[in-house]
Amino acid sequence: MKIEIIRRVIDEAYYILETDKTIREIAKDQDISKSTVHKDLHERLKFIDIDIFKSVDKILQNHIDIRHIRGGESTKQKYMKLRKNG
């Protein structure tokens, strides 16, 4: 693996550990695609540092566990905004 990729993966891993942001948010902040972030954090990080991978995986699993709540809240806000403006 190229050193640039390893550095990017490590940067993304520490970024998610510090901020608890989602893959989409990290991709936007780092100006890379979300599929790259996903591959970095799910596949490449495992071979670079297993301990960091385990910590990041817990955060990502938590995001998966609560995504239905975030989606519901987003829909609620959308319709409240429409009701207010309409």
pLDDT at 24: 93
Chain length of the chain: 86
pLDDT at position 68 over 90? no
pLDDT per position as a tens digit, 5-25 = 999 999 999 999 999 999 999
Q: Say if residues 47 and 79 touch (Cβ distance below 8 Å).
A: no
Alpha-carbon torsion 4, 8, 14, 17, what sign?
negative
Token representation of residue 46: 């495992």
pTM given for the model: 0.78
> What is the reported pLDDT for 66?
86
Query: H helices of the chain, where?
Result: 3-19, 23-30, 34-39, 45-48, 50-85
Query: How is residue 18 written in tokens?
Result: 């510090």
Please report the pLDDT score of residue 29 as a whole number: 95
